[in-house]
């Protein structure tokens, strides 16, 4: 359970850092300028941190639930498999919906796809190298 909590908190913090790097760099600012008319002027930092921490716990728990069914023989391979699965459901589906609903430049959508893949791969590798399926039985999720 301790490992699960530590990895979940670490991945939640990593989520926040990666989101900041992905969304606040000069290239992203230029590409995401298309959202300026509907974007918030300021961001609630505390809510963002809380959401990213919750995401860390949920993503780690989902990884552990799916662990045995993920392709690969090693934790690393399972982490990469999980990353592609999470990328599809979190990023690809969102970008596809945005492409259908909004008039966005293709390069903006492509950036979101690539940046999301990198983010999910980093998190998947973290989970694959640090979490094992037995950790779920010891966590509060199953108690």
pLDDT, tens digit (0-9, with 9 covering 90-100), for 23-45: 889 999 999 999 988 888 888 88
pLDDT at position 142 is 47
Listed in sequence order, the residues at least 6 apart from 90 whose beta carbon sits closer than 8 Å to its beta carbon are 116, 120
pLDDT band at residue 140 using 50, 70 and 90 as cut-offs: very low
For residues 52 and 38, what is the distance between their CA atoms, to the nearest angstrom?
A: 22
Q: Strand, coil or helix: what is 88? A: helix
What is the model's pTM?
0.86
Rg from Cα positions in the chain? 16
8 domain-assigned:
yes
127 domain-assigned:
yes
**CA 36: distance to chain centroid?**
24
For residue 124, pLDDT beyond 80: yes
Listed in sequence order, the residues at least 6 apart from 18 whose beta carbon sits closer than 8 Å to its beta carbon are 119, 122, 123
In the chain, alpha helices (H): 2-24, 26-31, 45-66, 75-87, 93-101, 106-130, 134-138
143 domain-assigned:
no
The count of domains in the chain is: 1
46 domain-assigned:
yes
pLDDT at position 7 is 95
pLDDT at position 41 is 85
pLDDT mean across residues, the chain: 91
126 domain-assigned:
yes
Quote the percentage of the chain above a pLDDT of 90. Answer: 80
pLDDT band at residue 134 using 50, 70 and 90 as cut-offs: low
- Domain of 112? 2-138
């Amino acid at each position: 359970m301790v490992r699960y909590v530590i990895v979940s908190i670490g991945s939640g913090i990593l989520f926040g850092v990666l989101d900041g790097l992905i969304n606040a760099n000069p290239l992203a600012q230029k590409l995401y300028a298309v959202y300026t008319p509907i974007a918030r002027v300021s961001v609630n930092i505390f809510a963002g941190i809380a959401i990213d921490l919750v995401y860390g716990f949920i993503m780690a728990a989902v990884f552990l639930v799916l662990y045995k069914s993920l392709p690969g023989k090693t934790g690393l391979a399972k982490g990469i498999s999980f990353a592609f699965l999470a990328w599809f459901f979190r990023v690809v589906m969102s970008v596809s919906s945005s492409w259908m609903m909004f008039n966005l430049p293709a390069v903006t959508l492509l950036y979101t796809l690539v940046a999301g893949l990198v983010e999910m791969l980093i998190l998947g590798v973290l989970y694959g190298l640090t979490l094992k399926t037995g950790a779920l039985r010891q966590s509060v999720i199953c108690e």
